[in-house]
Structure 1
Amino acid sequence: MSIKSIEKFRREIGLILAPFLSVLVYLMPLDLPTDAHIVFSIMVFCIVFWLTEVIPLSITALLGVTAAVVFGVVSIKEAFLSLGHPVILLFIGSFLIAQAMTKHGLDRRFALNLLSKEFFLKSPIRLIAGFSIIAFILSMWVSNTATTAMLLPLVLGIVHMFRQKKIGETGKFAVFALLAVAYSASIGGATTLIGTPTNLIGAGFLKEEGYDVDFLKWFLLAAPITVLSYISMLLYIKFHVRNFKLDYHKIKKLIAEEKKELPRISLGEKNTVFVFFLAAFLWIIPGLANLLGNKELYSFLKAHIPEAVVALIAAILLFLLPAKKGEGTLTAKDLKELDWDTILLFGGGIALGKLIIKTGLAAYIGKHVAAIVSPEFVVLFIFILVISMIFLTEISSNTATVITFAPILIGILKELNIDLFYPIFGIIIAASFAFMLPIATPPNAIIYGSRLVPLSKMVKVGFFMNIIGSVIITTFILIYMK
């Protein structure tokens, strides 16, 4: 059965199941206030729609909030306040920086310059490391989808050359090179606050609970987890490609030819580099001040140049700085090409999350779950949360999953009297660690679309990465909690 057939069948199931389960939940005799009961019913409807992707994810989020207004749970003014949330502005600004990188070819120039280094051309695992390091680093700033799509032709070019020369086990090399790119893009995206939408969504929920997460703090907490996960992946792949041989001179020639086709560095690229480093500097400085114990400077910087404002300054500069005559580095056309689906999904999702907490639904679920969880088994409980998030996002959007379950987990952790910051941080990271199925993440779908990666191999390697990722995330969360 093709992916399109699966998606069609999934949508049909969702159209029937969502209203049925929603009504069923509403008719259940639960000890809940009326508003919380209605929100529970709406939440179930949205979960089914998100899992089956009947309509775009963002429209489902907005549908949920709209239904809450229709049924009198919340006023329209309060319901849609989240569409003006500061993290929305951070989304827009960071997306525009990434757009400028892709538009002016800065990402491709960076990739080819790194791959042309002698170190990466000496052995199969080094070459795979070269591709995967690029994916890991770029996806901290550019979407993992764009990163994987940009690297795919480069990997396929190498594979095609191997086939022409009839080098043995080319198929195995292709599989592991492509998996390394997709997995590294997903892992790398979890490293920075702006690397993936789920990080920003998680930071938004934590902020609502009084936890301030700056750019540097997120990086310092996430980097050990993502770097160790990346190294684990590379060691696993090294074992499987250890007997593969390649022609160093041929690869060097191919990379050199690709590099030769690059145009001279343009004014647009220079502008993008300048704006990128300016934004990165302004994002890091408040966290650095906090790290050095200068609370006064930290408070001043957070008040006057918070992450969202820095992102807006960067975006405005990209429209102002000329790339060619009469045209900025970015134009109105680039604004139209933004990922508005994710932006609206965040706005609607945060609004729905607030309702889950405000109406007492999160506390209700938390109380009942807490009653069956012994404080002695907190370690096991956190591991179950992490691994459940990973496997759940194999079949559903990680963004929608985080939006739905983060407020509920906050309620559970409160009932258990556990400081919620690190467990919630852990499940946010876990939301980027789905590696088994093509439908799990866009990078997985892109490399599966090359028809060089068998589903059985993706499932096998992905399952290993899911388990390793669960253990690494849980371990670090427990260390941080202590």
Structure 2
Amino acid sequence: GPIRYEEITVVLSFLALIILWMTRPIWHKMFKPNYVSDGTSAMLISMLLFILPAENPFSSKIVERLVENKKDEPIRTVMTWKLMREKFSWSTLFLLGGGFAMADGVKKSGLSELLCSQLSGMQWLPPWTFIAFSSAIVCLPMVASIAIAQNMNPLIYVLPVTFASSFTFMFPAGTPPNAIVFSAKILHVSDMIIGGLVLKISSFILCQVFAQTYAYLIFDMEGFNVSTPLTPNAP
């Protein structure tokens, strides 16, 4: 059928969000440093959806309702808390929020430094042994500290760990997209394991090849000391 007023409102709101994201380097200067972020724009647009009406406020039906002061028939908004509570992917929110909270706790509690000191005696192990079990949010600070303690370029560990953290194809809780797909209740866990295992193995092999070959053409991986800035090679 024809596009409805509330659908137009959602599309325009999303376009406004994109514009706010793209122009943030300009308008963020009106606020204190580090006062606004991309999340600020997202929260603003989300709040507007709870305020903007789902029907054209200038239509004869709405005007008549306002004139007659029918308080028992409130104007419906684009988004309601009931709809939000029922449709929002809360598991994705807790998955992301829990990961960031755990990473912040590992950093501020000093656990990353403790693990680094305990693992510093394992310098004889190749880098891929750390990459194989690492999760980016939690382990990036740790593997970077290990590399610096060994006077190695942190990118030797950080780049593969960063890429490998995206190779979570096997379980619903691996990434937010996995959780979203699984929440549709079309796939079983066994389906994700069977399909994801092949992708995981092949991606891990390609990641190692990239880290040991192509990465050296982009970054100065060999010429590094603790005071060396991490910058790409000049073209």
TM-score band, normalised by shorter chain:
0.5 to 0.7
Q: What SS does the corresponding residue of 2:42 show, helix, strand or coil?
A: helix
Q: What SS does the corresponding residue of 2:54 show, helix, strand or coil?
A: strand
In 2, Cα distance between equivalents of 1:347 and 1:448:
25
Is the Cα–Cα contact under 8 Å of residues 49 and 77 in structure 2 kept in the other structure? yes
Is the Cα–Cα contact under 8 Å of residues 402 and 428 in structure 1 kept in the other structure? yes
In 1, Cα distance between equivalents of 2:36 and 2:100:
23
Is the Cα–Cα contact under 8 Å of residues 156 and 211 in structure 2 kept in the other structure? no
In 2, Cα distance between equivalents of 1:419 and 1:470:
16
Shift of 1:313: 0.9
For 1:333, the equivalent position in structure 2 comes to 82
Matched, 1:274 2:12: yes
Equivalent position to 2:142, from 408, 415, 420: 408
Matched, 1:314 2:45: yes
Instruction: Summarize the Cα distance change of 1:274–1:417 in structure 2 as closer, same or farther, 3 Å threshold.
Output: farther
For 1:190, the equivalent position in structure 2 comes to none
Is the Cα–Cα contact under 8 Å of residues 131 and 161 in structure 2 kept in the other structure? yes
For 1:264, the equivalent position in structure 2 comes to 2
Matched, 1:356 2:106: yes
Equivalent position to 1:373, from 123, 138, 143: 123
Matched, 1:463 2:201: yes
Q: What SS does the corresponding residue of 1:321 show, helix, strand or coil?
A: coil
Is the Cα–Cα contact under 8 Å of residues 28 and 36 in structure 2 kept in the other structure? no
Identity of aligned residues (%): 20
CA RMSD after TM alignment: 4.3
Deviation readout 1:274-327 (Å, 9 max, x if unpaired) = 12122122223346x7xxxxxxx7765764542121111111122222223722
Deviation readout 1:319-362 (Å, 9 max, x if unpaired) = 22222372222111233243334434555554443443334331
Q: Please say which structure displays the higher CA radius of gyration.
A: 2
Is the Cα–Cα contact under 8 Å of residues 160 and 211 in structure 2 kept in the other structure? yes
In 2, Cα distance between equivalents of 1:425 and 1:356:
20
Going by fraction, where is helix more abundant, 1 or 2?
Answer: 1
Q: Which has the higher contact order (CA 8 A, sep 6+)?
A: 1
Is the Cα–Cα contact under 8 Å of residues 164 and 204 in structure 2 kept in the other structure? no
Is the Cα–Cα contact under 8 Å of residues 116 and 143 in structure 2 kept in the other structure? yes
Matched, 1:284 2:22: yes
Instruction: Summarize the Cα distance change of 1:311–1:462 in structure 2 as closer, same or farther, 3 Å threshold.
Output: same
Deviation readout 1:16-58 (Å, 9 max, x if unpaired) = xxxxxxxxxxxxxxxxxxxxxxxxxxxxxxxxxxxxxxxxxxx
Q: What SS does the corresponding residue of 1:327 show, helix, strand or coil?
A: coil
Q: Which amino acid aligns with 1:282?
A: L
Shift of 1:388: 3.8
For 1:434, the equivalent position in structure 2 comes to 168
Is the Cα–Cα contact under 8 Å of residues 369 and 412 in structure 1 kept in the other structure? yes
Instruction: Summarize the Cα distance change of 1:313–1:462 in structure 2 as closer, same or farther, 3 Å threshold.
Output: same
In 1, Cα distance between equivalents of 2:78 and 2:211:
39
* Structure 1: runs of 5+ lacking an equivalent: 1-262, 290-296, 390-400
* Structure 2: runs of 5+ lacking an equivalent: 56-61, 63-74, 220-229
Is the Cα–Cα contact under 8 Å of residues 268 and 329 in structure 1 kept in the other structure? yes
Instruction: Summarize the Cα distance change of 1:419–1:456 in structure 2 as closer, same or farther, 3 Å threshold.
Output: closer
Aligned length, in residue pairs: 194
In 1, Cα distance between equivalents of 2:109 and 2:155:
22
Matches within 5 A, 1:10-89: none
In 2, Cα distance between equivalents of 1:345 and 1:467:
27
Is the Cα–Cα contact under 8 Å of residues 362 and 410 in structure 1 kept in the other structure? no
In 2, Cα distance between equivalents of 1:335 and 1:268:
15
Instruction: Summarize the Cα distance change of 1:447–1:431 in structure 2 as closer, same or farther, 3 Å threshold.
Output: farther
Q: Which amino acid aligns with 2:39?
A: A
In 1, Cα distance between equivalents of 2:7 and 2:83:
15
Instruction: Summarize the Cα distance change of 1:354–1:461 in structure 2 as closer, same or farther, 3 Å threshold.
Output: closer
Deviation readout 1:158-194 (Å, 9 max, x if unpaired) = xxxxxxxxxxxxxxxxxxxxxxxxxxxxxxxxxxxxx
